[in-house]
Amino acid sequence: GVALESICEGRVLMQTDEGIVVARDGDMVTVELQPREGCVSCSLAQFCSGSKGSVASLRATAGTDIRRGDIVEVALDDSVVLKASLALYGIPLVAFLAGVLIGYGLSFLVRQGTAMAILLPVMGGFLLLIPGILGSRRIASHMNPTARVLHKVADNGRCQQ
State the pLDDT confidence band at 112, using cuts at 50, 70 and 90.
Answer: confident
* Per-range mean pLDDT, top range of 47-61, 112-126, 146-160: 112-126
* Calpha distance 72→62 (Å, rounded): 10
> End-to-end alpha-carbon separation of the chain, Å?
23
* Per-range mean pLDDT, top range of 12-21, 41-50, 72-81, 129-138: 129-138
Residue 125, CA atoms < 13 Å, CB-side half-sphere: 12
pTM over 0.75? The answer is: no
* Calpha distance 130→40 (Å, rounded): 23
Residue 126, CA atoms < 13 Å, CB-side half-sphere: 4
State the pLDDT confidence band at 64, using cuts at 50, 70 and 90.
Answer: confident
Across 53-76, average pLDDT: 83
Question: Lowest mean pLDDT: which of 15-24, 38-47, 97-106?
Answer: 38-47
* Calpha distance 154→161 (Å, rounded): 9
CB 21 within 8 A of CB 72: yes
The share of the chain scoring above pLDDT 90, in percent, equals: 27
State the pLDDT at residue 39.
61
